[in-house]
Amino acid sequence: MTVNAEIHAGGNTWRSLPAAQQPEWPDQEALRDVIAELESYPPLVFAGECDQLRQRLGAVARGEAFLLQGGDCAEAFDAVGADQIRNKLKTLLQMGAVLTYAGQVPVVKVGRIAGQYSKPRSKPTETRDGVTLPTYRGDSVNGFAFTPEARTPDPQRLKRMYHASSATLNLVRAFTTGGYADLRQVHAWNQDFVKSSPSGQRYEALAREIDRALNFMNACGTDPEEFKTVEFYSSHEALILDYESALTRTDSRTGNLYDVSGHMVWIGERTRQLDGAHIEFASRIRNPIGVKLGPTTTAEDALTLIERLDPEREPGRLTFITRMGAGKIRDHLPELVEKVTASGAQVAWICDPMHGNTFEAASGHKTRRFDDVLDEVKGFFEVHKSLGTHPGGIHVELTGDDVTECVGGGDEIFVDDLHQRYETACDPRLNRSQSLDLAFLVAEMYRDQ
């Protein structure tokens, strides 16, 4: 085996370990063909960009910056359109502007975008009217329609995921570097339905202040080029390991392995088994890694994850994304933060206030209360304040569209409204106005900190 072949094999060491939440592909030969084809495709991101994000996350871990990570619960192939992508980006840019200006902190912007096509599920099957079919696992695996054809896992979908991610990333790069993300566009990002909402009006006032600040800096001779582009990174859950490892490549500069399907990947709550395939895979790649930590996580689990994923204790390498639930975070988070801090590791602590706060409304819709989301973030800030550690950021499921999936918010959505525009393929997302509300409230919390 040549050195390179050995290193590449490093991306496949997970294969001998139990891998949770993998689809049961009916045709293994078809899967092998797809993997071989994916292996021949060009990278979606460059290793150097992953390194740059790792440095930015290092600043988050050191308490010098704040991470805003957000996007769809599950991206869908039929939503790879200019409007949807622009709306999501616009929401994140607006939230970023609010957090930077009102929170007075540099914001690292990372989308749950261009690869977030795979979902871990609580149950392997779904039953409707006495008919049982495989559960929907994301567009990368099967279709949402409740038919045997749609629900049968089809490996050709992994190629569609690659192409959908590629098209999305291409447009995101064009938007973020081609003028759309210019800070002078802060008003333009608000020119639609959201403008008339309470958060849209609050945003408009903030945008005017940003304008004045930019004019002042302009008058002082600051180079206006500096505000024309924005750094924006992609991330998704590294769930389907056949896909992730097919897109794992050796960096010609360093000989290290990178998963070039996205800048940052995370391991979910359901797949973070210490002796499982996902952690093994993540331990082999140099991308910045996130791990979701739910309420059952012990301090020992967290310390072992650090040992496995960040043995060099490199700030920015490992991000712990806690998702405890509003009622649990104040009890469960302190011990984790205390013991990890005492170990000398410098991880970034991020709050996902979505996944511990899901419930089913009487109408059958999965939903979340905006107030619970907010309360979990509050608890996160309180814990970090009491321990003198840094609340490093938020990880949210959101969309730029005017959906009715989560209840509450300044432009209140009621339980009875849920059916109106309930469009998610999996979990409920904050809509644009709720996302802006959250950004303003988090900015206040950050400033108070």
Ligand X SMILES: O=C[C@H](O)[C@H](O)COP(=O)(O)O
Of the candidate residues 427, 428, 432, 441, the single one contacting ligand X (CB under 6 A):
427
Cα(first)–Cα(last) distance of the chain, in Å?
Answer: 54
Residue placing its CB nearer to ligand X in the complex, 120 or 410: 120
Q: Does 352 bind ligand X (CB under 6 A)?
A: no
Of the candidate residues 54, 56, 88, 119, the single one contacting ligand X (CB under 6 A):
119
Q: Does residue 397 have a known ligand-binding role?
A: yes
Residue placing its CB nearer to ligand X in the complex, 73 or 351: 73
Q: Does 365 bind ligand X (CB under 6 A)?
A: no
Closest distance to ligand PEP from the beta carbon of 318 (Å): 16
Q: Which does 401 bind (CB under 5 to 8 A by kind): ligand X, ligand PEP, none?
A: none
> Which residue stretch of 75-83, 120-128, 148-156, 185-193 sits at the interface with ligand X (rule: CB under 6 A)?
120-128
Q: Does residue 323 have a known ligand-binding role?
A: yes
Exposed, middle or buried, 159 (CB in 10 Å: 0-12/13-18/19+)? middle
Q: Does residue 204 have a known ligand-binding role?
A: no
Closest distance to ligand X from the beta carbon of 267 (Å): 13
Residue placing its CB nearer to ligand PEP in the complex, 62 or 270: 270
Residue 45 is encoded by which pair of tokens? 């991101």
Nearest to 241 by CA among 227, 261, 216: 261
Cβ proximity of 334 and 325 under 8 Å: no
Closest distance to ligand PEP from the beta carbon of 448 (Å): 27
Contacts for 202-205: CB closer than 8 Å, 24+ residues apart? 202/436, 202/440, 203/94, 203/98, 203/436
Using DSSP's 3-state secondary structure scheme, residue 52 falls into helix
Angle, helices 156-177 vs 28-40, to 10°: value is 30
Residue placing its CB nearer to ligand PEP in the complex, 183 or 267: 267
Q: Does 267 bind ligand X (CB under 6 A)?
A: no
Element (H, E) at 266: strand 264-267
Using DSSP's 3-state secondary structure scheme, residue 65 falls into coil
Q: Which does 121 bind (CB under 5 to 8 A by kind): ligand PEP, ligand X, none?
A: ligand X
Cβ proximity of 445 and 377 under 8 Å: yes
Beta strand spans in 336-433 (E): 348-351, 358-360, 366-368, 393-397
Alpha helices, DSSP H only, in 255-357? Answer: 277-284, 299-309, 329-342
Bridge-partner residues for 71, per DSSP? 112, 397
Closest distance to ligand PEP from the beta carbon of 208 (Å): 35
Q: Does residue 73 have a known ligand-binding role?
A: yes
Closest distance to ligand PEP from the beta carbon of 74 (Å): 8
Using DSSP's 3-state secondary structure scheme, residue 97 falls into helix
Q: Which does 323 bind (CB under 5 to 8 A by kind): ligand PEP, ligand X, none?
A: ligand PEP
Site map (CB under 6 A) of ligand X, residues 370-409, x = contact: ----------------------------------------
Cβ proximity of 438 and 406 under 8 Å: no
Q: Does 364 bind ligand X (CB under 6 A)?
A: no
Number of alpha helices (DSSP H) and beta strands (DSSP E) in the chain: 13, 14
Closest distance to ligand PEP from the beta carbon of 28 (Å): 26
Comparing every residue's Cβ against ligand X, the nearest one is 122
Angstrom distance (rounded) from CA 12 to CA 299: 29
Binding residues vs ligand PEP (CB under 6 A)? 73, 120, 237, 268-270, 292, 323, 355
Distances (CA, A) of 154 to 34, 61, 140, 224: 10, 40, 8, 49
Q: Does residue 378 have a known ligand-binding role?
A: no
Residue placing its CB nearer to ligand X in the complex, 121 or 159: 121
Closest distance to ligand PEP from the beta carbon of 29 (Å): 30
Using DSSP's 3-state secondary structure scheme, residue 22 falls into coil
Q: Does 295 bind ligand X (CB under 6 A)?
A: no
Q: Does 122 bind ligand X (CB under 6 A)?
A: yes
Alpha helices, DSSP H only, in 142-249? Answer: 148-151, 156-177, 198-219, 241-246
Distances (CA, A) of 273 to 202, 297, 329: 44, 11, 21
Residue placing its CB nearer to ligand X in the complex, 374 or 425: 425
Considering only residues 37 through 76, tell me which ones interact with ligand X, judged by CB under 6 A.
73
Size of the site for ligand X (CB under 6 A): 8
Annotated binding site: 73, 112, 269-270, 292, 323, 355, 397, 427
User: Which parts of this chain interact with ligand X (CB under 6 A)?
Assistant: 73, 119-122, 355, 426-427
Annotated binding site for phosphoenolpyruvate: 112, 269-270, 292, 323
